[in-house]
Amino acid sequence: MLLSGSKVGTVVGGSFTHDTVFLQDHNEELRSQGKSQFVLPENLKPTALDWLIFQAEPSRIGGNFNMQARIAEHIRRIGYLAPGNHVFKFGRTTELTRGKVSAFVLFKWEFDETTHEIAVVGTQQLPFARKGDSGAAIMISSDPEDLMGGILIGADLYARLAVVTPFNILLQSISQTFNRQFKFADLADMEESEN
């Protein structure tokens, strides 16, 4: 989202935390579902979990294509990012790109902090993301329907990889922050209730 002007909106809530338990919990969920798990290093570094819920002033929004409509047409449930998943995203800079969930990587941020994150590698020798794509929804390609998998949080342009926060971990953090249970909206139920 591109915002400009003096009053751009209001912060509703947010969190910026680092913990080793996020990826351990995610791996445990994969195990309980009988899915492939990530190999956890013995010296697991914390994982970044940062999010912000922001209500933008409508008159200050520009430079976007209608991603919400594209996502709403396809995504109805949450999936769990696992090694080997084929994924895609609509980013503000690169628009539609495809990739494959790789492994946990040790990621060094611009501010010199190092964290372990879930990596997605771009396919067809193209990067999965570039600067400006952060915050894009990562969808898991699945049959019969695509699934919401995570949120893009960073990219290493030299290695053609991006790092992703699993959506289930994000929802847990939001629920804890607001002290109420948040779930991914079932769009089919929402559409039926509106009619």
Q: In the structure, what pLDDT confidence band is assigned to residue 192 with cuts at 50, 70 and 90?
A: very low
Q: What pLDDT does residue 193 have? A: 40
Q: Where are the domains of the chain?
A: 2-194
Give the CATH number of domain 2-194: 2.40.10.10
Higher pLDDT, 192 or 24: 24
By C-alpha distance, which of 174, 161, 169, 109 is closest to 133? 161
By C-alpha distance, which of 122, 131, 123, 138 is closest to 89? 138
User: pTM value?
Assistant: 0.81
Query: What are 46-90's pLDDT values in tens digits?
Result: 888 888 888 877 776 665 555 555 565 667 788 999 999 999 998
Residue 23 has pLDDT above 60, yes or no: yes
Q: What pLDDT does residue 5 have? A: 57
Share of the chain above pLDDT 90, in %: 26
* CB-count exposure of residue 61 (10 Å: 0-12, 13-18, 19+): middle
Q: What pLDDT does residue 15 have? A: 87
